[in-house]
Amino acid sequence: MLRFLAELPVRIIAWLSDTLEKTLRFVGRVVGVWGYEDPDSAVGVMAWLRGGIRKGFWAFARLVSYPVAGFLYRGPQRRAFLLSIPFFTAFLGVLAVWLVVAFNNERILNRYLARVQNAYTKQDGKLGVRYATRWIGEPNYANADREFLYSLVQVQAGNPKFAEGILEHLSPEDSTGLGIAHFWRANQCVLSLQSESMGESQRGECLDRFRRHLKRASGVSPGQIAILEALDAYWDGRAADAEARYRAVWEQDPFQSVGFAELLTKLGKEQERMQVLKSGAERVSDRLRTDPSNRGIRYRLADVYEAMGEWGKAEVVYMEGYQINRDSVTSTAYREFLYRRAEAALKEPLQYRELGYCLVRLMRTQGSAQRTQQVLAKGFLRPGQELVQLQRELNQWLVEGLDLPLVHLSLALCKILAGEQASGDWHLEQAYRYEETSRGIAEPMLDYLLDASPSGSEYYERLQTWRDRSAAPPGSRVMLEPF
Amino acid sequence: MGKKVTIALLAIGLAVYVPAILRFYHEIAFGQFWLELGLLVVGFASLVIAGFANRPASRPFAAKDRWAAGVTGILIAALMAMLWGVYSVDTAWVLRGWGMCLSCLIALLAGFSMPRLVQMSVLCFMVPVSLWTFSQDIHWFGQRLSTGLAGSILDLAKIYYFNKGNVIGLVSTDFLETGQCAGIRLLGPLLLIVLTYGFTLQYRWFRVGFLILEALFWIVVWNALRIAYCVWIQDSQTTPIDWNFLLLDMVCLLGTLFLTWSGDQFYAAFTHKEKDGYKEETRPSGLQGSDSMVEGNEKRSSGYVFAAGVILVTIIALGFWGIHRGVWGDAPGFGSLRTSASIEKISFDSSIDGWKITETEGSDESFSPVFRQSSNWSHREWEFTRDGVLQTTMKLRVDGPWLYPPRMGWIWNWFGWKTASLLKDAQGDSSWEVRREIVQEGFVVSRNLSLPQDDRTRAPVVQIALVQEGFRAISEEDRKAQRELFSRLRESIEQQLRASLSVETEH
């Protein structure tokens, strides 16, 4: 055995040389290259064909041996050979580049794919899109999973419509597609079904579409599919089944508290809804305590508090998050929370205390941003009686010591709108006295209120009068009196 | 006698096409194709000089049956070219036929060999190649190969890039390298030089063919190297680098010529035969056995001379007909910068029918193509948005002037869009669908705006197109709105261009 192994390399060389010899002999017999017959004396089509093949074979052999045989040339042929070296070197170089890239194409594309995944992890969607553009047009490489990754980086790059297009392409109604894309489509159908602005026939079509996509949905946790199945049961009229399915998911996953609570609302079980939310809040709080820097858990907890109407607790959760992270993500989340809280306060019946608080906090955190101005205009441009209520709550906040300059500023706006110009001026003076920079909020805010109030209306006239008065020379102005 | 008559007819034939030649001169001036024209003249002159140097022993015209047959064949080709040129008002084709007639005249007067006459005629077919109406297809294919090879080089260098059709974009930057991927540069001059080189050295046709193929291969390779180099240097630079295009062009041309010449040496070394010798191998086939040409059938030669005379009379008649119909009249807009200046003057109100209009500069998918037919070619783009509706954003593209407008949709093909078959509506506007990647969809309405609309003269053309892009198939309703908007815009542009042209004509 050992002797065989020792002789193996020699044997391999012998086998190879034998194979080469036999192959050449075979080819030679076929094309007659060894000169078994005189080509000039041969006649007939077959002879002509064999002559052609023989010539071609020798031309090929000369071509292959040219780079080495050329050095043996003499005279003008040698000179021509030497001058042709750049030609065949460059030609072989081009051929080599093409072959190397062609044989490593998949490896190269994998390199790009890894970069896309990396960019996605780092949330650099624009870069990810550019890396993905390299392979997205390759039909043999861009499979459904990779196309899905492309859609994710498109979302990160700020092209949600593009991503939606890809997901629609990946979730056809007449073939398999990608499970996760079908899950997304099923969720889109859920949003449409919940919008309640559909006709009966449209709703039926949408429900059929939802069921088709739900049937093919996969690639997500079983709980998420189970939620959709629970909703399907609800729309199918199987209320008990829907509740049981959702409850099973909620017991495993407290993050589904808000969704489950919504279902219970639809089923008219208000008391159970509150129990679910309370229990959910406790369970999510426990999770947050183990990982306080986890934004996902934090925002889920805030969502539960919001659903319970515990806006104060939700704010505390957001503020804690801001103190831990202090970045744009947390400040954006808090800003959006404030807008949601203000919108909730503006819903009938109006919650004046909440509204007063939101207006002051929005002014403090967002200054005179356009969206803030819009919310503030909705809050201040109310009928007289409501404005009085708002003033009362703002006075209460003043007593409680909430952000004095901006509470004074808010009161000033109320007073000016109510026609109490002198009192408004006094509050404004107080706001400026506490904080000079509040002037930068007050002036654009008053301009916006003037623009937002209908021309010729009572508020418009009062604001216009106040503006004319405040624009008058200092000597002609009435001295401010304490309120 | 037959020779004298033929020479006289050829001279008349050449003279009657002088208006077409003048018109061609205007086109050359408009497109600034002086380099290609100069090379053509130099190449032709060098062939004439080489023809004089290698002139065969004198032989009576009528006795050379094969020679007369060759001249007749060339005159038939000339007639075909001229017929097509007159029919399509394409002076380049007329000049091709005219050049073949000129070759015959010179060959008859100087007694050149048959191969020399054929070489001169073939060279005349290279009359500015950039004006070939399908030149954008040639450039598209060449650019595709170049971009592919450049991409391979970049892959080996681990430079991250992506393709949008024929154009390379760097991952590290946010723009496409349209400047370097605008077509195969110096293709026409290179072919002229290679043909002249091969003909002057009296190579066999197979060898000339090998040289042309080789030159095409190397120009694609050098363009690829150029793209790869520019992209490599551009990598990680935030602003586009301003390249010296003339220097890069010269380097590429010289590199291509060197490698083509080196390839010619390969051919010489590979086909060398010890007994025959190098010079013997390169002797023109037409000169071998020239004695046999002296012997001919007098009757058949007379038949060929008669046929040549008939063809020449037809060519002359066609020339006179062209003059009579004023086919070669100077079309307005020629030999001046008027049309381009008019494109620069196009403007719109800030909104039309609820569409908000903004002009966009430096759009990603636009470039100045190598095969443009005017030195003052320009491109402008506007964006139309309708407030509150996300799906209805449109782009208006205006480019030109074109002497021979390229196929509609070429720009979309260039940037990797797949175009559906073209539809023409009752108003003459063309429209088609475009698609790219997985979900990018679009619809284009386009028209070649000829100024003025006179069918007898080929005036410069402005290509306008209104594009609507989205991530879902464009609905029929949106298409209808697009066609209506395009119709309004076309009328507005037409009026503005006409007004601008008439004002400048008055000046």
DSSP A56-103: HHHHHHHHHHHHHHGGG--HHHHHHHHHTHHHHHHHHHHHHHHHHHHH
Q: B146, B152, B252: which to substitute to probe chain A, counting the most A Cβ within 10 Å?
A: B152
Q: B10: distance to nearest CA of chain A, Å?
A: 43
* pLDDT, average across residues A257-277: 88
Q: What angle do CA A285, A290, A294 make, to 5 degrees?
A: 80
B262, B281, B282, best to mutate vs chain A, most A CBs in 10 Å: B262
Q: What is the mean pLDDT of chain B?
A: 81
Residue of chain B with shortest Cα separation from A108? B155
Whether A463 has a pLDDT exceeding 60, the answer reads yes
The answer, yes or no, to whether residue B477 has pLDDT greater than 80, is yes
Nearest to A108 among B155, B163, B265 (CB): B155
Mind giving me the DSSP string for B401-469? Answer: EESSPPPTTHHHHHTTPEE---EE-TTS-EEEEEEETTTEEEEEEEEEEESS--TTS---EEEEEEEEE
Rounded distance between C-alpha atoms, residue A80 and residue B408, angstroms = 48
- Do the strands B440-450 and B161-164 form a parallel or antiparallel pair, or are they unpaired? unpaired
- Compare A455 and A30 and report the one with higher pLDDT: A455
Nearest-CB residue to B272 (from A80, A94, A169): A80
* pLDDT tens-digit readout, B379-416: 889 988 876 555 567 899 998 888 888 888 889 999 98
The reported pLDDT for the residue numbered A351 is 85
In terms of pLDDT, which residue wins out, B181 or B31?
A: B181
- Is A310 part of the contact surface with chain B (CB cutoff 8 Å)? no
A94 touches chain B (CB under 8 A): yes
Q: For residues B93 and B133, give the distance between their C-alpha atoms in angstroms, rounded to a whole number.
A: 11
Distance CA A327, CA A319 (A): 12
Note whether B169 contacts A112, CB cutoff 8 Å. Answer: no
* pLDDT class of B48 with cuts at 50, 70, 90: confident
Q: Does the pTM exceed 0.90?
A: no
Which is more confident, B502 or B288? B502
Report whether the peptide linkage leading into residue B401 is cis, meaning its omega lies within 30 degrees of zero. Answer: yes
Closest residue of B to A71, CA-based? B269
A277 interfaces chain B, CB cutoff of 8 Å: no
**A16 at interface of B, judged by CB pairs closer than 8 A:** no
Q: For strand B418-419 and strand B423-424, is the pairing parallel, antiparallel, or unpaired?
A: unpaired
Is A369 strand, coil or helix?
A: coil
Whether the CB of A194 is below 8 Å from some CB of chain B: the reply is no
Q: Which residues of B touch A166 (CB under 8 A)?
A: 438-439
Inter-chain CB proximity A150 and B438 less than 8 Å: yes
* A45 and B CB contact within 8 Å: no
CB contact under 8 A, A137 and B153: no
The 10s digit of each residue's pLDDT in B481-500 is 888 889 988 888 888 887 77
Question: For the segment A283-342, what is each residue's pLDDT rounded down to a tens digit?
Answer: 999 999 998 888 889 999 999 998 888 888 999 999 998 888 888 888 888 989 999 998
- Check CB contact under 8 Å for A131 and B472: no
Q: Which of A18-22, A245-249, B47-51, B126-130 has the highest mean pLDDT?
A: A245-249
Percent of chain B with pLDDT over 90: 21
CB contact under 8 A, B269 and A101: no
Lowest mean pLDDT, pick from A43-47, A134-138, A436-440, B317-321? A43-47
Chain B residue with CA closest to A101: the answer is: B152
Provide the token pair at B279: 């010079």
Residues 65-84 of A with CB under 8 A from B: 66, 70, 73, 76-78, 80-81, 83-84
pLDDT tens-digit profile of A119-169? 999 988 899 999 999 999 888 898 889 999 999 999 999 888 888 888 888
pLDDT at A35 > cutoff 90: no
Least confident range from B178-187, B390-399, B426-435: namely B390-399
Task: Quote the tokens at residue A143.
Answer: 């499979």
Long-range contacts of A360-366 (CB under 8 A, 24+ apart): A360/A394, A360/A397, A360/A402, A360/A403, A360/A406, A360/A407, A360/A410, A361/A403, A362/A338, A363/A406, A363/A409, A363/A410, A363/A441, A363/A445, A364/A403, A364/A406, A365/A331, A365/A334, A365/A335, A365/A338, A366/A335, A366/A338
pLDDT (0 to 100) of residue B281? 43
Which of residues B198 and A45 earns the better pLDDT score? Answer: B198
Average pLDDT of the residues in B147-167: 93
Angle at which helix A311-325 crosses helix A328-346, to 10 degrees, equals: 170
Minimal Cα–Cα distance from A90 to chain B, Å? 8
Q: Which residue of A has its CA nearest to B279?
A: A76
Q: Which of A68, A94, A129, A153 has the highest number of chain B CBs within 10 A, making it the mutation to test binding with B?
A: A94
Query: Rounded to an integer, what distance in angstroms lies between the CA atom of residue A71 and that of residue B496?
Result: 70
Residue A69 pLDDT greater than 90, yes or no: no
Higher pLDDT, B363 or A117: A117
A136 close contact with B: CB closer than 8 A: yes
Domain ranges of chain B: 2-113+293-325, 135-279, 338-506
Q: How confident is the model at residue B257 (pLDDT cuts 50, 70, 90)?
A: very high
| Complex ipTM more than 0.85, yes or no | no
B/e letters for A329-354, b = 16+ CB within 10 Å, e = fewer, are ebbebbbebbbebbeebbeeeebbeb
Selected residue of B149, B167, B439 to mutate for chain A interface (largest A Cβ count, 10 A): B439
Output the CA angle B368-B370-B375, nearest 5 degrees. 70
Mark yes or no for CB contact B437/A66 under 8 Å: no
For residues B502 and B452, is the Cβ–Cβ distance under 8 A? no
Q: What is the pLDDT of residue A38?
A: 55
Please write the tens of the pLDDT for every residue from B55-113. 766 554 444 667 778 888 889 999 999 898 888 778 888 889 999 999 988 888 888 88
Question: Which residues from A are below 8 Å from B171, CB to CB?
Answer: 115, 127, 130-131, 134
A464 touches chain B (CB under 8 A): no
B125 pLDDT band, cuts 50/70/90, is confident
More confident residue, B272 or B337: B272
Measured between CA atoms, how close is B173 to chain A, in angstroms?
Answer: 9
Q: How far is B392 from chain A (nearest CA, A)?
A: 13
> CA–CA separation, A257 vs A247, rounded Å?
9
Domain ranges of chain A: 105-170
In this predicted structure, the answer to whether residue B296 has a pLDDT above a threshold of 60 is: no
Candidate from B171, B266, B390 with C-beta closest to A84: B266
CA A360, A361, A362, A363 dihedral sign is: positive
